[in-house]
């Protein structure tokens, strides 16, 4: 009973971190507009009737979007739009690629005062979200790997499609499948033949997606005004790697956080035995990464460098900065994991102590996941009670699943 109710509360909490359907629709409209507009542009080495793929990446693609927090308040969210020009690094340069896309965007009056250049992308600011346009080229016809322009001077390799496929595979371990309401909008522009991949709208998130959302927001709140915030790629990758298909969010959170926390033994490099273990482990880590199903985890080598290889690109190391400043980022990560474990345990304890919803929201959810999130959680819980069938257990009310239980007859709160 307790675990079922805690799971329900966690589901509502993760929904409270998600973007609303309206926000999503607005973002989707703008995303499609930008994609179509870019596809109609002229670029060096691209023929007129070429299909230029446009697709999302990042948390929008993975379904792990969390309303960001800036300066302690909820702020705009990001959509990553990958614009994949069908040419190669041999036929263009990082500078030409980046600047031509920028010019195309600047030529549109709609974007002129909303455009900003970052290291790898062009950011268009809207009312409550940004679109990060990522110009890139493909490495080869036969792989998903792309090359991005880094500071207009070098190529950086990435594989967002490959990562999304890997994440989905991990997420699908649970039987509840993601219900993706994909818009069947495969629109082709009049000229330029833009092939736009639908931005998947996940109404019902999988357990893994919700785990990632809950962890990311907890991290966001904890690191307000602090340095060395653990990056989302590390949290997302470890959560997905350690997820075993649990159907209960609470169970998944406990297990994943526990596995993350155990990795802190790498912090202690004092004994020689550790060194030897590290040596053999780092070799194992490398060879693992070449396998079909590498065991994705954090390791360290004898020089003290940390490794978390990208599951789809062993050359990319998400933890490449963990050793800096006397392992500042590594320490920050493990401190965050410990705090997360404590907060999840507190959730269970407060629930067991029958403290009531207000106690839980004020003393835990509000302070650890944000006040707005705690309010929305209560609202979603109440809306569910109002709008769905429940049955009486003799003590309380529980949701009706299937036709096993007798629903409580409808009533209206009224005095006469």
Interface residues with other proteins (CB under 8 A) are 1-2, 4-6, 9, 350-352, 354-358, 360-362, 374-375, 378-379, 381-383, 385-386, 390, 392-398, 406, 408-416
Q: Indicate the residue among 46 and 357 with the shorter CB distance to other proteins.
A: 357
Neighbours of 337 (CB within 10 A): 24
Q: Indicate the residue among 402 and 409 with the shorter CB distance to other proteins.
A: 409
What DSSP character marks residue 187?
A: -
Q: Indicate the residue among 163 and 250 with the shorter CB distance to other proteins.
A: 250
Look at residue 406 and give its three-state secondary structure.
Answer: coil
The half-sphere exposure of 324 on its side-chain side, counting CA atoms within 13 A, is 7
Q: How far is the CB of 410 from other proteins (least distance, A)?
A: 7
Neighbours of 107 (CB within 10 A): 11
User: Strands (DSSP E) along 87-186, which ranges?
Assistant: 115-117, 122-125, 129-138, 146-150, 154-158, 179-180
Estimate the crossing angle of helix 2-17 against helix 324-352, to 10 degrees.
Answer: 130
Q: Extract the tokens encoding 171.
A: 């997420």
For 405, residues 6+ apart whose C-beta sits below 8 A from its C-beta are: 391, 398
Phi-psi region of 151 (alpha: psi -120 to 50; beta: other; left: phi over 0): left
b/e map 187-220, b = 16+ CB within 10 Å:
eebeebebbbbbbbbbeebbbbbbbbbbbbbbbb
The kind and range of the H/E element at 28 are: helix 21-39
Contact 257, 317 (CB under 8 A): no
Q: Indicate the residue among 317 and 390 with the shorter CB distance to other proteins.
A: 390
Q: Indicate the residue among 340 and 350 with the shorter CB distance to other proteins.
A: 350
Q: Indicate the residue among 223 and 380 with the shorter CB distance to other proteins.
A: 380
Q: Indicate the residue among 26 and 390 with the shorter CB distance to other proteins.
A: 390
What DSSP character marks residue 247?
A: S
Q: Indicate the residue among 74 and 132 with the shorter CB distance to other proteins.
A: 74
Q: Extract the tokens encoding 24.
A: 């999503």
Q: Indicate the residue among 142 and 413 with the shorter CB distance to other proteins.
A: 413
CA angle 399, 249, 217 (to 5 degrees): 115
Q: How far is the CB of 219 from other proteins (least distance, A)?
A: 24
DSSP sequence for 358-401? HHHIIIIIHHHH-HHHHHHHHHHHHHHHHHS-EEE-SSSEEE--
């Amino acid at each position: 009973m307790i675990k079922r109710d805690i799971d329900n509360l966690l589901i509502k909490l993760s929904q409270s971190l998600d973007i609303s359907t309206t926000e999503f629709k607005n973002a989707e409209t703008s995303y499609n507009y930008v994609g179509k507009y870019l596809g109609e542009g002229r670029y060096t080495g691209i023929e007129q009737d070429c299909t230029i793929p446009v697709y999302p990446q990042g948390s929008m693609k993975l379904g792990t979007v969390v309303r960001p927090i800036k300066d302690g308040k909820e702020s705009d969210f990001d959509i990553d739009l990958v614009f994949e020009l069908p040419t190669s690094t041999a036929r263009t340069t990082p500078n030409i690629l980046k600047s031509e896309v920028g010019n195309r965007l600047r030529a549109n009056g709609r974007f002129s005062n909303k455009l900003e250049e970052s290291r790898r992308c062009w950011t268009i600011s809207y009312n409550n979200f940004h679109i990060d346009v990522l110009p890139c080229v493909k490495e080869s016809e036969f792989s998903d790997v792309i090359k991005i322009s880094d500071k207009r001077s070098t190529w950086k390799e990435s594989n967002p499609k490959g990562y999304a496929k890997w994440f989905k595979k991990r997420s699908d371990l649970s039987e509840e499948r993601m219900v993706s309401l994909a818009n069947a909008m495969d629109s082709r522009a009049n000229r330029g033949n833009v092939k736009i991949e639908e931005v998947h709208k996940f109404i019902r998130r999988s357990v893994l997606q919700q785990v990632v959302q809950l962890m990311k927001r907890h991290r966001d709140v904890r690191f307000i005004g602090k340095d060395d915030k653990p990056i989302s790629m590390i949290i997302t990758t470890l959560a997905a790697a350690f997820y075993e298909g649990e159907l209960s969010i609470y169970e998944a959170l406990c297990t994943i956080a526990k596995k993350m926390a155990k990795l802190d033994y790498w912090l202690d490099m004092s004994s020689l035995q550790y060194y030897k273990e590290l040596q053999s482990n780092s070799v194992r880590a490398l060879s693992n990464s070449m396998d079909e199903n590498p065991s994705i985890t954090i390791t360290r080598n004898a020089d003290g460098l940390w490794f978390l290889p990208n599951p789809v690109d062993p050359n990319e190391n998400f933890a490449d900065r963990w050793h800096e400043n006397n392992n500042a980022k590594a320490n920050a990560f493990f401190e965050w994991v410990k705090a997360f474990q404590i907060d999840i345990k507190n959730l269970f304890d407060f629930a067991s102590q029958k403290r009531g919803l207000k106690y839980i929201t004020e003393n835990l959810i509000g302070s650890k996941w944000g006040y707005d999130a705690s309010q929305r959680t209560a609202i979603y819980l109440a809306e569910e009670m109002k709008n769905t069938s429940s049955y009486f257990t003799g003590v309380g009310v529980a949701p009706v699943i299937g036709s096993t239980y007798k629903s409580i007859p409808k009533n209206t709160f009224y005095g006469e």
